[in-house]
């Protein structure tokens, strides 16, 4: 019996890799931290150089004729809008005897509804005294206008009710005359008509009394509104604390700068598409990450760790070169200085065994046809986040076209929080631990270890003799091929 299995299709890559995005943004922490610091300094500078103008504040208790316990703030919002009209501003300016225009004065104050019946007025001026005077004039003008409007509204309502009552009184008089003009004898239908007139008279009498009562209530409600609308917090100057303003504005600037920096860093990371994680770099180059090297040794213990990492890398590469039947080269991308240090240390280890030739570059502008002469096998020394995904694909494609096998990647400046796996398990034939040796090409003599040196251009050829101690026949040669990126110094 034959059993056939169908391989599952690979999972689709996510549209946005959040892990890679977070790692890329974290690597640009200097950028967004600088923007956050700049925002902090800018906010503090604004608080010092642009202090707020002198201001005053007052609070007015506003009573309404139609106050309801379940009011959602509609009435107080109406009062706020009324305060911001040229009518109130003009009355306040007239009481101040100021020649300013109401339109200009309205820009210097604002009202805020604190509750359904409490209005706060904030006013600015050229001095504290002027601001207090303006606040008092505005509060008085608003109270007077509000009381006048409430009185006019109550008077209009009472007048309408009285007029309606008077019309019903006239109608009642007509009904009374009709009732009085009927004789008890006569038409047999007269009792029914008389009964309807008596019912109409009773209805009119009730409605007349109701309209009269409502008119009285409308008049009585006005004094309550007048007495309830008053200034409850006298106008006073607002004291501004410079340290508090500096702290507040600085915190606002810090948050805005941080948000802006993070947003720009995220957008830049997405647009640039520069792989940072091990798995992405290994996938784009088609080779496993075999070693890592910190780029900037900082404190003393970090320097010791960096030296230990260099020693491990040199040991690994030396073992690889000794076990290879074909020349092995070093090719750098964004890490010329680190690659030159590795080459120098490797020269000290392998110099006694035969001629050692330096490292090359796969940066833009590389002479790809020269790379096979450096070695049919190569180890790429790549700085994380330096090359874009498109360029890493280009490097892998050109090396494949030139039949240069990549046996591993040395990752420089890796993300310390990266927990991804940089091993290509489906490609063990190109991994360092499992590559197969190809037949050695005739070289007419002893073994030559190719460790190609960094240069500035495809036509540059610098030679630096580095004899190994204790082995006079052996010679060490650093030959520069390729181009070093502009952002790294030349390693000689």
pLDDT at 437: 44
The structure tokens listed for 390 are 């498109």
pLDDT at 447: 41
pLDDT at 180: 73
Question: So where are the chain's domains?
Answer: 18-51+242-272, 55-237, 278-438+445-479
pLDDT at 183: 57
Find all residues with CB under 8 Å of 487, minimum gap 6, and list them.
Answer: 334
The structure tokens listed for 16 are 């946005």
C-alpha to C-alpha distance for 358 and 145, rounded to whole angstroms? 92
- C-beta separation of 384 from 416 below 8 A: no
**Bridge partners of residue 137, in order along the sequence:** none
Q: Computed over its alpha carbons, how large is the radius of gyration of the chain?
A: 46
CATH code of the domain made up of 278-438+445-479: 3.40.50
444 Ramachandran zone, left/alpha/beta (phi>0; psi -120 to 50): left
The structure tokens listed for 279 are 């798995």
Give the single-character DSSP code of 13.
P
Give the single-character DSSP code of 456.
B
- Residue ranges in the chain modelled with pLDDT below 50: 1-9, 427-492
pLDDT at 294: 78
Measured in whole angstroms, how far is the alpha carbon of residue 341 from the centre of its chain?
41
For tokens 């007419």, the residue is 444
């Amino acid at each position: 019996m034959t059993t056939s299995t169908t391989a599952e299709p690979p999972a689709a890559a996510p549209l946005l890799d959040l892990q890679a995005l977070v790692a890329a943004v974290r690597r640009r922490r200097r950028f967004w931290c600088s923007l956050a610091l700049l925002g902090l300094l800018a906010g503090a500078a604004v608080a010092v150089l642009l202090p707020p103008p002198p201001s005053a504040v007052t609070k007015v208790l506003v009573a309404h004729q139609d106050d309801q316990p379940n009011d959602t703030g509609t009435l107080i919002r109406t009062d706020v809008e009324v305060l911001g009209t040229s009518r109130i501003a003009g009355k306040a300016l007239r009481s101040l005897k100021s020649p300013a225009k109401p339109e200009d004065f309205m820009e210097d104050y604002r009202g805020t509804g604190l509750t359904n019946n409490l209005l706060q007025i904030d006013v600015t001026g050229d001095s504290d005294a002027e601001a207090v005077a303006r606040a008092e004039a505005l509060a008085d003008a608003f109270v007077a206008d509000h009381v006048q409007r409430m009185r006019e509204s109550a008077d209009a309502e009472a007048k309408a009710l009285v007029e309606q009552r008077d019309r019903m009184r006239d109608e009642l008089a007509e009904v009374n005359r009709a009732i009085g003009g009927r004789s008890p004898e006569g038409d047999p239908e007269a009792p029914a008509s008389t009964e309807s007139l008596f019912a109409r008279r009773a209805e009119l009498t009730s409605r007349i009394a109701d309209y009269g009562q409502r008119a009285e209530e409308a008049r009585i409600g006005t004094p309550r509104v007048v007495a309830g609308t008053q200034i409850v917090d006298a106008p006073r100057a607002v004291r501004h604390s410079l340290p508090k303003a500096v702290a507040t504005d600085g915190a606002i600037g810090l948050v805005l700068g941080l948000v802006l920096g993070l947003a720009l860093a995220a957008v830049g990371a997405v647009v640039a598409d520069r792989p940072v994680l091990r798995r992405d770099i290994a996938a784009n180059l088609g080779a496993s990450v075999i070693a890592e090297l910190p780029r900037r040794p900082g404190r003393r213990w970090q320097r010791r760790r960096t030296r230990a990492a260099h020693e491990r890398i040199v040991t690994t590469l030396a073992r690889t070169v000794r076990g290879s039947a074909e020349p092995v080269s070093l090719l750098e991308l964004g890490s010329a200085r680190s690659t030159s240090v590795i080459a120098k240390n490797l020269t000290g280890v392998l110099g006694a065994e035969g001629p050692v030739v330096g490292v090359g570059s796969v940066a833009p502008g590389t002479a790809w046809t020269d790379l096979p002469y450096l070695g049919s096998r190569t180890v790429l020394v790549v700085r994380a986040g330096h090359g874009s995904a498109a360029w890493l694909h280009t490097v892998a494609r050109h090396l494949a076209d030139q039949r240069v096998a990549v046996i591993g990647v040395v990752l420089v400046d890796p993300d310390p929080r990266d927990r991804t796996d940089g091993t290509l398990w489906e490609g063990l034939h190109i991994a360092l631990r499992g590559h197969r040796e190809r037949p050695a090409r005739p070289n007419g003599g002893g073994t030559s270890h190719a460790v190609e040196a960094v240069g500035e251009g495809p036509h540059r050829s610098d030679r630096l003799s580095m004899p190994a101690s204790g082995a006079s026949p052996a010679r060490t040669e650093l030959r520069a091929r390729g181009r070093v990126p502009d952002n790294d110094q030349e390693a000689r």
